Amino acid sequence: MSVSGPLTLARHLWSFSIAHQLPAVENANGTEQSTAAASAGFDPLLCFAIGPSLGFTERFYWQEPGGQRILVGLGSAATLEAQGPERFRQLAGAWQRLASEALVAAKPAPTDPKPPLLFGGFAFDPDQPRSALWEGFPDGLLMLPAFLFTFAASGPTLTLNVLVAADRDPLQLGDDIVAQLEALAQALSSPPDVLPAMPAVTTPSSLHLESLLPPAVWMEQVAQAVRQIRRGAYEKVVLARAVRLLRQDRSFEPEPALRRLREGYQEAYLFAFSRAGSCFLGATPERLVQAQGGALETMALAGSAPRGRTPHEDEQRARELLCSSKNQREHQIVVEMLRQALASLCTAIHSDPEPHLRRLKNIQHLETRITGRLQPGRSILEALEELHPTPAVGGFPRAAALAAIRAGEQLDRGWYAAPIGWVDAAGNGSFAVALRSALLRDHEATLFAGGGIVADSDPASEYAETRWKFRAMLGALGVEEDDDENSF
């Protein structure tokens, strides 16, 4: 059962709103931009932060570029899990059964998103051996939150989800719901002090950073992949690597990291999924797929360069990226594969005639937008199966590239570079590719980054590219801009 309504909870919820309001967000032209958080009058990150005080070990945070939609989930009313290569299909069937049996009571009746809404995440490769690092993060997971906060420009709403047994006493059910709402109101009226200003670590003395694989070994992997590409084994492969950041003085907490990511990467998809004592979070520039009313949209994001330190240097690097034959070839591989994948799902497929720049705080990419119309009866979960992994995170051809990754990468990617997002009862939803991400557990953070390898790739340049990509999460975890792997 899903019960939705305006997020007011009478005066209890608003008693702290003034103290926790967000600053205004500006567009690139300097004008103020209306955000979902601004319409609520308080910081949605507080809703995420109160989860542990209410006894919830499972939490989800989702923010779309520009903050136009923010979703926060606490607890789990129902959890759907799947293992193995059929995970997308298995979860699509389980999602359809749950949605068809749901009883929804809402005033006014919500349509976007339509409850029940489930958060989900997937492993990059179900055939890859798993390690203890990703314990609690199965091959496929959809979770119906006990509490769902939805922040949009039209205003915030709260949805309470309850799994009701056939023999449940209705009066007792009503009492339980009221008690949960009262506990929620109390927690929001006295939120934990988890969002104070935290200075960046000015010295790495309290931190220790180590590569899971020595840089020289990883660069030899790149050189080996280049040799295989030149022999015709495949056209492209994406090789990832990881670094582990250890903190001596305190545990890593997701809230300060999310706040830093939100401040520095407003045009990215922000996500956090806490489960089994760990939190997987990041700020990814890449949307895998979005579905709304039958319209489907994806993007090709491949080919990267660092931002410049001055406007002149920035423009020069942008021109070099746009004119780079290596990056253009890598990008076109992704565009062609995505169009082919959508052919079995969609009609009226259209893509931009040429790539444009997607600029983030410390890196810029080539991007091409691709749209289509979902065929009747097809869902966003089926689109995930067709699209993942794209050549931007796996390689091309898919089977050969995945075989090369399994054989040589020496890394348990877990949920890194895989779909993460949400789906509602109408089949609408949005999933991003979990890049620029880290897995936090107590005093340890594991950060992931990768690069696309083609025939003319240079191992040292590819290694440097992964270092740019680590910067987003290193900064979010308190490491200064000038500190990197060589500083520890």
Count Cβ atoms below 10 Å from residue 375 Cβ, excluding itself. Answer: 13
| Residue position matching structure tokens 């009503």 | 174
Cα separation of 185 and 191, whole Å? 10
- The identity of residue 51, as a single letter, is G
Q: Is 107 a catalytic residue?
A: no
Show the tokens assigned to 453.
């390898």
**Local structure of residue 70 (DSSP, 8 states):** E
Contacts 24+ apart (CB under 8 A), 306-310: 306/362, 306/363, 306/364, 306/468, 307/359, 307/360, 307/361, 307/362, 307/363, 307/364
Q: Comparing C-alpha atoms, which of 424, 413, 198 is closest to residue 291?
A: 424
Q: Is 361 a catalytic residue?
A: no
Q: Enumerate residues 6+ apart whose C-beta is below 8 A from 306.
A: 317, 362, 363, 364, 468
How far is the first Cα of the chain from the last one, in angstroms, to the nearest whole number? 51
Cα separation of 236 and 243, whole Å? 24
Measured torsion, CA atoms of residues 251, 254, 256, 261, in degrees rounded to the nearest 10: 130
What burial class does residue 73 get, using C-beta atoms within 10 Å of its C-beta: 0-12 exposed, 13-18 middle, 19+ buried?
buried
Residue 184 CA from chain centroid, whole number: 26
Q: Comparing C-alpha atoms, which of 299, 304, 206, 310 is closest to residue 249?
A: 206
Catalytic residue among 255, 286, 330, 382: 286
Cα separation of 148 and 24, whole Å? 24
Q: Is residue 3 within 8 Å of residue 105, measured between CB atoms?
A: yes
Catalytic residue among 58, 64, 114, 236: 236
Which residues are known to be catalytic? Answer: 236, 286
